[in-house]
């Protein structure tokens, strides 16, 4: 099985094809959101919302046989695309692998502003409400 | 007189840069305006030549800093047509100015069962301080409704006014929609029932002539950074008799006359409300910002910005999927809109990819967004240094984004 680092390198290579064009990068991320598995409507409630974001993000993490299974959704296409990438990197990993992961692909694909908060969020440190949240809802 | 926009742009160093490979188009002026070179120079000069604490030093630098600080107060007085400069209090911003009034005027002159009127258009900073006051003292907050176009419903405002109304605290021009409220009529109607009026001038003071004596408002609040001046500086204007009757806000240095452990007596206005060392550099650098506006001419600025707004509306009104939000007859140069089937955040990011800076979201007006049944908007807000060419580039970008989901 590929490591977290391998998958991140794969993603970075895919984005390199786009060059440094910001618009193409964003369009591609928006498209990727379409790959997310449909989010169960039962989970679309307040307790699964990441608070404080301008965009709404719902996140459910479940542990099955020692591996974490993520399901998430967002009402903005860019955030949804970023979530799909995070899930691609972190899904079906053990909590230990997730906590120890050096998540660096987001700045490497030019979406720097989400880096720190995103890592904290999906890595399970719930003190960060700024998850996937370049723009706070203030 | 037409605005010489190229010559004005040459005064703003920040505008001459590329963002994401495109020339920066800065349309987020309702959030904060950029600063002309004379403001930047004034800050630099203060720290290089005059840095000193004011109102207390027995030396030349302190005298120079104090004189320049007080010259700004006089400029602000002239800028808003106040009777005397003692009625000008420096604060950290509009938010602090409103909180100051809530904590001092509010806690002294508004009692349990009294009423405070605000409007649906208010920014959170003109909602939350009054809610906090009401929670504390049992006063009641009343809200003027709006029409779908974003205009206050006058009849409902009149119905809300009654002898229990102690304060009407209302925005002059809406930050989210641009609506200009009929504030002179509102002030007269409020005074007729004995209520005082606070005007939130955060958005209006940079675009419209605001004369506090002609309007007869009791308080006016605004922020320097939306008037081409530095951040961290605001103004509270209040009528002398009110400011004198109000207790101090913060306690400390500068605001006292004499301190003993038994009792402290307070300084006269404006110093009574300016505890501690103020933002000296920012105050001093605010004067060239005001001079810039005055020498350019408010009427010229308003005409230029209004032309840009009209042009944006004209270019985008028939574009499939573009939904303008806030269509009041009287507006400052704010173009708020949504794109069908897209979140404002995504639209803002795609505009940023083209070097166009706008604000997206609820604009600190969540109750207004709720009333309009939307989560937020994309807001382009224009200033004196923006051009028709920039509006064209913006309109092309918006048209392309709208076509993504509106074939």
- Considering the domain architecture, whether residues B105 and B248 belong to the same structural domain is answered as yes
Distance from CA of A60 to the nearest CA of B (A): 22
Distance from CA of A81 to the nearest CA of B (A): 11
Taking the C-alpha atoms of residue A54 and residue B155, their distance in angstroms, rounded to an integer, is 35
Host domain of residue B112: 40-294
Taking the C-alpha atoms of residue B367 and residue B276, their distance in angstroms, rounded to an integer, is 35
**Quick one: pLDDT at residue B157?**
98
pLDDT bracket for residue A116 (50, 70, 90) = very low
CB contact under 8 A, A23 and B353: yes
CB contact under 8 A, A78 and B346: yes
- State which residue of chain A sits closest to B366, comparing Cα positions: A138
Taking the C-alpha atoms of residue B243 and residue B220, their distance in angstroms, rounded to an integer, is 12
Q: With contacts defined as CB-CB under 8 Å, which chain A residues touch B361?
A: 54, 135, 137
Structural domain count of chain B:
2
Answer yes or no: is B236 within a domain. Answer: yes
**Quick one: pLDDT at residue B57?**
77
Listed residue (B305, B400, B326) closest to B175, CA to CA: B326
CB contact under 8 A, A22 and B360: no
CATH code: domain of residue B68: 3.40.640.10
- Considering the domain architecture, whether residues B207 and B74 belong to the same structural domain is answered as yes
pLDDT bracket for residue A56 (50, 70, 90) = confident
- Considering the domain architecture, whether residues B229 and B353 belong to the same structural domain is answered as no
- Considering the domain architecture, whether residues B115 and B15 belong to the same structural domain is answered as no
pLDDT bracket for residue A137 (50, 70, 90) = low
pLDDT bracket for residue B7 (50, 70, 90) = very high
What chain A holds in terms of domains, given with CATH numbers, is: 4-122 (3.90.1010.10)
**Quick one: pLDDT at residue B294?**
96
B276 in the Ramachandran plot: left (φ > 0), alpha (ψ -120 to 50) or beta? left
CB contact under 8 A, B353 and A22: yes
- Considering the domain architecture, whether residues B13 and B65 belong to the same structural domain is answered as no
Listed residue (B89, B84, B50, B82) closest to B67, CA to CA: B50
Q: Which residue has the tokens 């692998």?
A: A97
Mean per-residue pLDDT over chain B, rounded: 96
Catalytic residues of A: 53
- Considering the domain architecture, whether residues B197 and B325 belong to the same structural domain is answered as no
pLDDT bracket for residue B221 (50, 70, 90) = very high
Listed residue (B220, B231, B223) closest to B206, CA to CA: B223
* Residue range B140-197, pLDDT digits in tens: 999 999 999 999 999 999 999 999 999 999 999 999 999 999 999 999 999 999 999 9
**How many beta-carbon pairs under 8 angstroms link A with B?**
40
CB contact under 8 A, A54 and B350: no
For residue A80, the surrounding DSSP H or E stretch is: helix A77-90
pTM for this model (two decimals): 0.92
Residue A132 pLDDT more than 70? no
pLDDT > 70 in chain A, percent = 80
At B65, phi and psi to the nearest 5? -65, -45
- Considering the domain architecture, whether residues B272 and B242 belong to the same structural domain is answered as yes
Q: Per-residue pLDDT averaged across B17-25, rounded?
A: 96
**Quick one: pLDDT at residue B254?**
84
Count the helix, strand and coil residues of chain B and give each as a percent rounded to the nearest 5.
45, 20, 35
Taking the C-alpha atoms of residue B45 and residue B68, their distance in angstroms, rounded to an integer, is 12
Per DSSP, the residues of B316-356 read HTTSTTEEE----SSB-SEEEEEETTS-HHHHHHHHHHTTE
For helices B37-45 and B280-296, give the axis angle rounded to 10 degrees: 150
- Considering the domain architecture, whether residues B304 and B281 belong to the same structural domain is answered as no
Q: What is the ipTM of this complex?
A: 0.81
Listed residue (B206, B155, B147) closest to B325, CA to CA: B147
- Considering the domain architecture, whether residues B106 and B221 belong to the same structural domain is answered as yes
Taking the C-alpha atoms of residue B199 and residue B184, their distance in angstroms, rounded to an integer, is 10
CB of B182 closer than 8 Å to CB of B172: no
Q: Which residue has the tokens 């009041």?
A: B328
A118 vs B392, more confident = B392
Q: With contacts defined as CB-CB under 8 Å, which chain B residues touch A137?
A: 361-362
Which of A78, A79, A137 minimises the CB distance to B361?
A137
CATH code: domain of residue B339: 3.90.1150.10
**Quick one: pLDDT at residue A124?**
43
| Residue that is last in its domain, among B294, B313, B345 | B294
CA atoms within 13 A on the CB side of B169: 28
| Beta strands B219-223; B196-200: pairing state | parallel
pLDDT bracket for residue A120 (50, 70, 90) = very low
Distance from CA of B344 to the nearest CA of A (A): 8
User: Which residues on neighbouring strands pair with residue B18, listed in sequence order?
Assistant: B23
Answer yes or no: is B314 within a domain. Answer: yes
Answer yes or no: is B35 within a domain. Answer: no
Q: With contacts defined as CB-CB under 8 Å, which chain B residues touch A25?
A: 353
Q: Report the range of poorest mean pLDDT among A39-53, A101-115, B270-284, B347-361.
A: A101-115
| Residue that is last in its domain, among B294, B315, B350 | B294
User: Which residues on neighbouring strands pair with residue A68, listed in sequence order?
Assistant: A63, A93
Q: Is B62 helix (H, G, I), strand (E, B) or coil?
A: helix
What does the block give as tokens for A95? Answer: 């909590």
Q: With contacts defined as CB-CB under 8 Å, which chain B residues touch A20?
A: 21
CA distances (Å), origin B184, targets B197, B198, B207, B237: 10, 12, 17, 17
- State which residue of chain B sits closest to A21, comparing Cα positions: B20
* Residue range A69-89, pLDDT digits in tens: 999 999 999 999 999 999 999
Q: Which residue has the tokens 């040459």?
A: B10
Answer yes or no: is B272 within a domain. Answer: yes
Which of A25, A135, A138 minimises the CB distance to B345?
A135
- Considering the domain architecture, whether residues B132 and B13 belong to the same structural domain is answered as no
Residue B309 pLDDT more than 50? yes
Taking the C-alpha atoms of residue B407 and residue B398, their distance in angstroms, rounded to an integer, is 14
| Residue that is last in its domain, among B294, B317, B334 | B294
- Considering the domain architecture, whether residues B287 and B302 belong to the same structural domain is answered as no
- Considering the domain architecture, whether residues B112 and B232 belong to the same structural domain is answered as yes
């Amino acid at each position: 099985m590929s490591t977290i680092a391998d998958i991140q390198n794969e993603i970075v290579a895919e984005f390199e094809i786009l060059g440094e064009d910001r618009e193409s990068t964003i369009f591609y991320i928006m498209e990727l959101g379409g790959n997310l598995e449909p989010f169960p409507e039962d989970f679309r409630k307040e307790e699964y919302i990441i608070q404080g974001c301008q965009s709404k993000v719902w996140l459910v993490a479940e542990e099955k046989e020692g591996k974490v299974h993520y399901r998430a959704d967002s009402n903005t296409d860019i955030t949804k695309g970023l979530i799909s990438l995070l899930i691609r990197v972190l899904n079906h990993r053990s909590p230990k692998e997730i906590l120890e992961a050096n998540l660096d692909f987001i700045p490497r694909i030019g979406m720097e502003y989400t880096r720190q908060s995103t890592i904290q969020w999906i890595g399970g440190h719930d003190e960060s409400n700024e998850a996937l949240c370049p723009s706070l809802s203030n | 007189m037409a605005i010489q926009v190229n010559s004005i742009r040459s005064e703003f160093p920040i505008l001459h840069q590329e963002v994401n490979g495109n020339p920066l188009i800065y349309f987020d002026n309702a959030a904060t305006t950029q600063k002309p070179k004379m403001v930047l120079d004034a800050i630099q000069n203060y720290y290089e030549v005059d840095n000193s604490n004011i109102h207390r030093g027995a030396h030349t630098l302190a005298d120079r800093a104090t004189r320049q600080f007080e010259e700004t107060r006089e400029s602000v007085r002239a800028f808003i047509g106040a009777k005397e400069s003692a009625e000008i209090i420096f604060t950290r911003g509009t938010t602090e100015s409103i909180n100051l009034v809530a904590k001092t005027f509010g806690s002294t002159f508004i009692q349990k069962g009294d009423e405070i009127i605000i409007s649906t258009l208010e920014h959170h900073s003109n909602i939350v301080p009054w809610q906090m006051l009401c929670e504390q003292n049992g006063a009641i907050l009343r809200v003027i409704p709006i029409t779908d176009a974003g205009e206050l419903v006058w009849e409902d405002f009149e119905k809300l006014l009654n002898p229990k109304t102690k304060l009407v605290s209302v925005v002059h021009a809406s930050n989210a929609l641009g609506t200009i409220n009929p504030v002179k009529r509102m002030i007269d109607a409020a005074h007729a029932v004995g209520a005082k009026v606070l005007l939130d001038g955060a958005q209006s003071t940079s675009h419209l002539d605001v004369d506090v004596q002609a309007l007869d408002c009791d308080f006016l609040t605004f922020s320097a950074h939306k008037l081409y001046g530095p951040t961290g500086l605001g103004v509270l204007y209040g009528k002398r008799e009110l400011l004198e009757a109000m207790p101090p806000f913060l306690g400390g240095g500068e605001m006292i006359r004499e301190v003993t452990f038994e009792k402290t007596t307070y300084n006269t206005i404006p110093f009574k409300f300016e505890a501690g060392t103020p933002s000296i550099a920012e105050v001093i650098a605010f004067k060239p910002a005001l001079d810039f506006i005055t020498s350019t001419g408010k009427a010229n600025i308003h005409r230029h910005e209004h032309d840009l707004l009209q042009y944006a509306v004209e270019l985008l009104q028939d574009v499939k999927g573009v939904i303008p939000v806030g269509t009041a007859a009287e507006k400052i140069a704010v173009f708020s809109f949504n794109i069908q089937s897209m979140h404002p955040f995504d639209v803002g990011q795609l505009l940023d990819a083209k070097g166009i800076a706008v604000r997206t979201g609820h604009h600190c007006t969540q109750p207004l967004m709720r009333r309009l049944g939307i989560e937020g908007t994309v807001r382009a807000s224009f200033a004196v240094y923006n051009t028709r060419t920039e509006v064209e580039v913006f309109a092309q970008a918006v048209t392309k984004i709208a076509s993504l989901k509106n074939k």
